[in-house]
Amino acid sequence: MRSFHLLLWGLVAHVPLSAARANCPLYGPLFPLPTKLLQNPTLKAVAAAVDDAFVKNIDSDNSTGSNYFSYAVEVFTGSEDQPLWSHYWTAPSLKYFNSTGVSKVDTNTVFRIGSITKIFTVLTFLATVGDGIWNDPITRHLPEIESIVWRASGGPIWTPDWESITVGSLASQMSGLIRDYALLGELSYQINLTDLYSMGFPPLPKSDYPPCGTWPTCDRAQLFTGLSKLPPSFPPFETPAYSDIGFVLLSYVAERITGKPFKTLVTDTVLRPLNLTHTFVEAPDDSLGIIPGTSRATMWGVSLAEESATGNMYASAGDLSSLGRAILRSTLLKPAVTRRWLKPVAFTSDPRALVGMPWGIRRVDLQTNQTYQFVHTFDKVGSLGAYSSLLAVIPELDIGFTVLAAGIPPAGLTTAIAEALADTYIPTLYYLARAQANATFAGHYSHASLLIPSNSTTTNNSTSTRKPPPPPYANDAAAATTTTSSSPTSRPSSTTSPSNATSTTTTLPSTPTTLNSSLTITVDPISPGLNVTSWLSNGTDMALLAVALSNNVSAAYLPLLRPSVRLYPTGLEEPIPDSDGGGRRVAFKAVFEDLSGDAVAGGDFVTDCASWVGVTGVVYASRPLDMFVFEIAPDGVVRAVVNEALRVRLVKVD
């Protein structure tokens, strides 16, 4: 019977199924980032429920072995200085394993963070050197590598293509270099040689074994000597392959360019500016940390020496949350640098997983029935000795998670915790972003001529004093008068003229006193972005026209159109000149779509979602028709919106 069902499903799977077209948003936040979250009642209720779940399913559940591990978890946002939720657990048995560390875990308890160190390394590099040399070959900056190149005699299977390995490839796992030299993974430092021989490994001359590794660790000269003997895993940029050694070399490049030791760079560039007083490049005093055993057995006190830049650091949950906030806020970097940093570099075998610098990137769907609504988590996990860790940031929702554990937790505890947090907080934050967008932007916007005078009983629906609407697609701007100090033929300026336009003084074009222009925005519970349900420009159905123009629709097809206009945040905003208390203009980009017909199944060269191709596809007198700029008062209330191509200010009336 089971085989029959499988066969039936195989047949059905090849039958094309029709489905309504879904909106195709622009990549990025689907709504403005949610704010004022700390006192939000929805999030308070979620936090209480999550806390109960952790107590019941981890702390108080004997099957988890919670007597033998401790952990700290925080959920943070870039818009608040305090965590949205936090939870700390101390293993009841901790006192029997160690007496030199903390007796109770809290936000300041220091853990080893392993490979999360790589985030500090890349951030330090970006803040001191920048990403302008990402494409430089490392031979340009490391003379030891250049020397290896000169001495190399082997072929490409045994000798890395050092001159093609770039600085950026070191940060993105794309260098093709082997994982480590002797520190981790070298069996001769982990298992007795006699036992290795009995397992089938051949006896070798002593000179073939690394002279250093986990204990004693290698110095810089030994490390480069070892690198000269190691084969590559792949050619540079062939495929992502995890390499700790790449981040060591990245730190060496930063040291050579700045003339400062890596520890000093991290401290001066990241730790002090962010006031990370419970984060350390080297082992801090035992009294600050959670140590579930001896210093050696837990690897609390074991130094990675020359490989510190890849995994040696220590931090508290509170400090890692502060680091995550700084990344979301772009505190230490220019925003453009942060945006470049929070992008993928390479694909993996999992189509939902990508690789960044040094991020593991995961696509998370927001709606099970909406293909194109998703966010990406940028995360890094770490594991060293008795410690496991995870830091994740989600830029599209402005949130992140910190998870630190010590002791003997169940396999995959940190990722399981992060998974539970993502399943809870991602949909909650998406809901709040949608709700706040509805409260802020939804409503009706009209030209001043349509507003009800305070001394009149005329309704908005009255047309007794209006001129007849112009023919379809006519524009009244031609009848407007514009004066400039330089040329009578200068085009009209918008209400958001650039502040650096000093050569001319342009007045706004006059408009008829009965201009029939309006806009209605809603936010629905399923589809993305701000939904423009009605859009008139001097009597013309501009939603229909915009979709027709964007899709090159002929007049005969107009009656068949199912126009959709949705607005998405651009990340562009500016202060309103001379406004008291911080008024601002915020730009949105419209996507003009025809949702008639059924969805088109994706093919090898066909997609039903390519909104990025149509951006600014329709322009009128150098102004995009898809550019909407909202005026927001200091109190956060939207006052008006301007479509820049139409150059008419519509006031929000409800």
- The residue-averaged pLDDT of 531-546 equals 96
Instruction: Kindly state whether residue 251 falls inside one of the protein's structural domains.
Output: no
Question: Is the same domain home to 429 and 447?
Answer: no
Give the residue ranges of DSSP H helices in 357-457.
413-441
As to burial, measured by CB atoms within 10 angstroms (0-12 exposed, 13-18 middle, 19+ buried), residue 616 is exposed
Please list the helix, strand and coil fractions of the chain in percent, rounded to the nearest 5, in that order: 30, 20, 50
Same domain as 414, residue 497: no
Output the CA–CA distances (angstroms, integers) from residue 509 to 86, 194, 322, 341, 476, in the order listed: 55, 89, 49, 43, 10
Task: Indicate whether 13 belongs to any domain.
Answer: no
On whether both 499 and 603 belong to a single domain, the answer is yes
pLDDT digits (tens, 9 = 90+) for 13-62: 333 344 678 899 999 999 999 999 999 999 999 999 999 999 999 999 98
Are 425 and 448 within one domain? no
Could you report the per-residue pLDDT of 192-245, keeping only the tens digit for each?
A: 999 999 999 999 999 999 999 877 889 999 999 999 999 999 999 999 999 999
* 430 and 570 within one domain: no
Same domain flag for 633 and 496:
yes
For residues 351 and 331, is the Cβ–Cβ distance under 8 A? no
Residue 600: how many other CB atoms lie within 10 Å: 12
Q: Is residue 361 located within the same domain as residue 474?
A: no
Q: Which residue has the higher pLDDT, 215 or 281?
A: 281
- The token duo for 635 is 């109190």
Residue 115 known to be catalytic: yes
End-to-end C-alpha distance for the chain, whole angstroms: 60
**How far are the Cα atoms of 21, 217, 393, 567 from residue 593, in angstroms, in the given order?**
10, 61, 31, 11
What is the C-alpha to C-alpha distance for residues 314 and 316, in angstroms, rounded to an integer? 7
In total, how many domains does the chain have?
2
Instruction: Give just the sign of the alpha carbon dihedral 491, 620, 27, 433.
Output: positive
Is residue 48 classed exposed, middle or buried when 0-12, 13-18 and 19+ CB atoms within 10 A define those classes?
A: exposed
Contact of 596 with 54, CB cutoff 8 Å: no
Query: Are residue 368 and residue 419 in the same domain, yes or no?
Result: yes
CA 210/CA 233 separation, integer angstroms: 19
411 and 516 together in one domain: no
Distance CA 532, CA 593 (A): 12
Same domain, 396 and 472: no
Q: Tell me: pLDDT of 643 over 60.
A: yes
Are 414 and 497 within one domain? Answer: no
CB-based contact 631:441 (threshold 8 Å): no
Count of CB atoms within 10 A of residue 546's CB?
Answer: 24
Question: What pLDDT was estimated at residue 582?
Answer: 82
Residues of the chain with pLDDT > 70, as a percent, come to 87
pLDDT tops 50 at residue 506? no
Q: Report yes or no on 151 lying in a domain.
A: no
Give me the catalytic one of 242, 330, 449, 579: 242
Q: Is residue 12 predicted with pLDDT exceeding 50? A: no
Question: Is the Cβ–Cβ distance between 460 and 480 less than 8 Å?
Answer: no
- Catalytic residue of the set 70, 86, 115, 316: 115
By residue range, what is the domain housing residue 266?
A: 41-115+261-436
Please state, as a whole number, how many other Cβ atoms lie within 10 Å of the Cβ of residue 641. Answer: 23
Residue 237 lies in a domain: no
E strands, 415-517, in order: 443-446
Asked whether the beta carbons of 116 and 389 are under 8 A apart, the reply is yes
Residues 466 and 421 in one domain: no
Residue 485 pLDDT > 80: no
Predicted pLDDT at 167: 99
Q: What mean pLDDT value characterizes the chain?
A: 88
Bridge partner list, 72: 88, 404
Instruction: Classify residue 22: in a domain, yes or no.
Output: no
Question: Which residues face 576 on adjacent strands?
Answer: none
Q: Give me 516's structure tokens.
A: 């029939």
Q: What is the mean pLDDT of residues 352-360?
A: 98
CA distance 453 to 451: 6
Q: In what order do the strands lie in the sheet with 110-112?
A: 110-112, 314-316, 279-280
- How crowded is the C-beta side of 652, counted as CA atoms within 13 Å? 18
Q: Can you tell me which residue has the tokens 């940190």?
A: 414
Tell me, yes or no, whether 275 lies in a domain.
yes
Is it the case that residue 112 has pLDDT exceeding 90?
yes
The residues that bridge with 400 in the sheet, in sequence order, are 76, 393
Report the range of poorest mean pLDDT among 255-269, 405-419, 593-607, 627-641. 593-607
In a domain, 202, yes or no: no
Respond yes or no: is residue 242 known to be catalytic: yes
Cβ pair 591, 566 in contact under 8 A: yes
- Which CATH number do you get for residue 381? 3.40.710.10
β-pairing verdict for 648-652 and 443-446:
antiparallel
Instruction: State the pLDDT at residue 513.
Output: 60
Domain assignment present for 187 = no
Q: Do the beta carbons of residue 481 and residue 510 sit within 8 Å?
A: yes
User: Long-range contacts: 410-415, Cβ < 8 Å, 24+?
Assistant: 410/64, 410/65, 413/69, 413/71, 413/388, 414/71, 414/381, 414/388, 414/389, 414/390, 415/381, 415/390
Of 378, 376, 373, nearest to 352 by C-alpha is: 376
